[in-house]
Structure 1
């Protein structure tokens, strides 16, 4: 298996490396960039979708927040947007240079499809809006905000997702063909999972599901198989996943810790079928604390704890003023920027 550095240097010249780079983009929101983890994520997502369609009691958390009928269209839009982004910006990946091509996986395309529903016009519009908004903004913010100030790149990335999301949702409201569509009824009456209703079992399932929230899947099947894929990839070559830093085990531990603390702290918002953004630190402040401080255990634990305390309530507060048809992911990614800055500056002062 080639090294991470060799892989990135081949992306602009080898189509094999390019396709695996595109595949790896599905898990880069979690700081892995692992093709095997991405295979696990997508396999788990489709398992969750099929179990949802059959109303299986093993379906677990409903895929894509119960919008299962929109799930295939959402994935289609993300794949189209991601492939187009990587084709357009492929030349910028020359000589191993990194670019945030993954940003469309966790932002505009999926959000727009989940807002408006099924249909080819919606799928293509969401994909195009994803390409023209978030990737250019992310590159701009990293070059002109993060690099000059020394703050983590994730702040620029999630800020670009927030601004791009606002632009895309505003544009969709004036496009004449963008109208909310009705979903067909499920093939069978909805059946909620009867497996593992205990508090401890639910908490574990909720933590695992948080690992696929950034991709708008939110399923323990997707999150669990993604973690398995990431671990298998690490066992094959520890220097590959996680940008070649060999910090994947600590990143995973920080993410599990951040999610678990958040789920326990804010579980009242999950009761009665509710939801809250406990995944915010999982994809922002927790891995940033590990990477920015070279895997330091104090940074890992403090970063996970601070992120868990701030992430969900800040996202909830920011979501309140959003107008109709502006997806709440905008508030979630803004919370990621705020939480990451607080964690990074706090750890810089403490450690």
Structure 2
């Protein structure tokens, strides 16, 4: 197994990361950092389309920019390197200590590129489209559930591009846009429905995931004390949970990237909303409240989905209702208290051949649908 894992660890993943890093830097230097409106208006140009594709990597956190995408990938690469060498500063072991990060990132990136090859034409109409969804959904979940290897990675990417992306496209365009719902509801609902179908196919046709390589999860050196330092680390790691990284270095790269993008061009990240600071503050508060309130669950289970409001409720509320402190605080607190236990309740009822992330994304959809209008009422605005 170690010999078979060596290729993607040492060569493939490094080449992919290097290529994306060069593309990100080139797009920043050559493109001069246009704002989001300019980006959308020029998607027929190769450089702008490239920026959009790379920006999809940070789309799950609602940042939509190549700098946080680059930061996320570089931070995750550093975390994986540190994990392989046993450095204490690696933080929480990336990809939950499975050692599957090279396969996971290969499958996720391939799913993203295939999605653009098949569905990139949907951007021609000038409206935002969920082209990013395959990067943070089924391909990664399949690798974590069935193991690494080219068969699982490629089939996960194919199913992500063929099932997840069109499902989210349909829900966004024929449900969210007509009913004026936050598009995240369509994004994550598409992930859930398509992933259910994909896992049923994998159960019916096991050859799709045959010979998946499942290295043992790395043993934890010592039981965490769940004190102040652990709490702050956990809050930071939550920012990179959605792409299944769950690591402080990856999150730090993501956050430094979006803050740098905001400083260089405030109208470039986060869809040109200029609400980056309010969004990040709400996301951090949501994770902090969740980690503190659900500390007992963290202790008993070892992991709990306190990241959910970071990538759904809080940014959806801020973008829909504005960046007032009432919106930021209310969405963060309500999201932190409601979404994680709902996700666990749904995941418990899933069959064993399905990854539990399906419960997480369903919780995002349900919680966003219910909480955002409530926040609008509490904040004194229109729901």
Which range moves more in the overlay, 129-138 or 340-349?
340-349
Alignment correspondent of 1:43: 74
User: 1:34, CA displacement in angstroms?
Assistant: 1.4
SS in 2 for 1:89: helix
- Aligned-CA RMSD value: 1.8
Q: Which runs of 5+ in 1 are unaligned?
A: none
TM-score w.r.t. length of structure 2: 0.86
User: 1:91, CA displacement in angstroms?
Assistant: 2.0
Larger RCO (CA under 8 A, 6+ residues apart): 1
Alignment correspondent of 1:58: 89
Taking the TM superposition and a 5 Å limit, the aligned residue runs for 1:182-201 are 182-184=213-215, 190=219, 192=221, 199-201=227-229
Assess, with a 3 A threshold, how the Cα gap between structure 1 residues 201 and 180 changes in structure 2: closer, same or farther.
farther
- 1:73 touches 1:123 (CA, 8 Å); kept in 2? yes
Alignment correspondent of 1:294: 322
Alignment correspondent of 2:264: 236
| Per-residue CA distance 1:98-150 (angstroms, 9 max, x = gap) | 11001111111100111111111111100010011111111111122212222
- 1:110 is aligned to 2:110: no
Taking the TM superposition and a 5 Å limit, the aligned residue runs for 1:1-351 are 1-11=33-43, 13-68=44-99, 70-94=100-124, 96-177=126-207, 178-179=209-210, 181-184=212-215, 190=219, 192=221, 199-271=227-299, 274-350=302-378, 351=380
Assess, with a 3 A threshold, how the Cα gap between structure 1 residues 92 and 185 changes in structure 2: closer, same or farther.
closer
- 2:240 touches 2:247 (CA, 8 Å); kept in 1? yes
User: 1:304, CA displacement in angstroms?
Assistant: 0.7
SS in 1 for 2:214: coil
User: 1:184, CA displacement in angstroms?
Assistant: 4.3
Q: Which runs of 5+ in 2 are unaligned?
A: 1-32
User: 1:349, CA displacement in angstroms?
Assistant: 3.1
| Per-residue CA distance 1:69-109 (angstroms, 9 max, x = gap) | x2111100111110111122222212633110011111111
Counterparts of 1:146 and 1:198 in 2: how far apart (Å)?
Answer: 40
Assess, with a 3 A threshold, how the Cα gap between structure 1 residues 304 and 173 changes in structure 2: closer, same or farther.
same
Q: Aligned residue pairs: how many?
A: 346
- 2:147 touches 2:214 (CA, 8 Å); kept in 1? yes
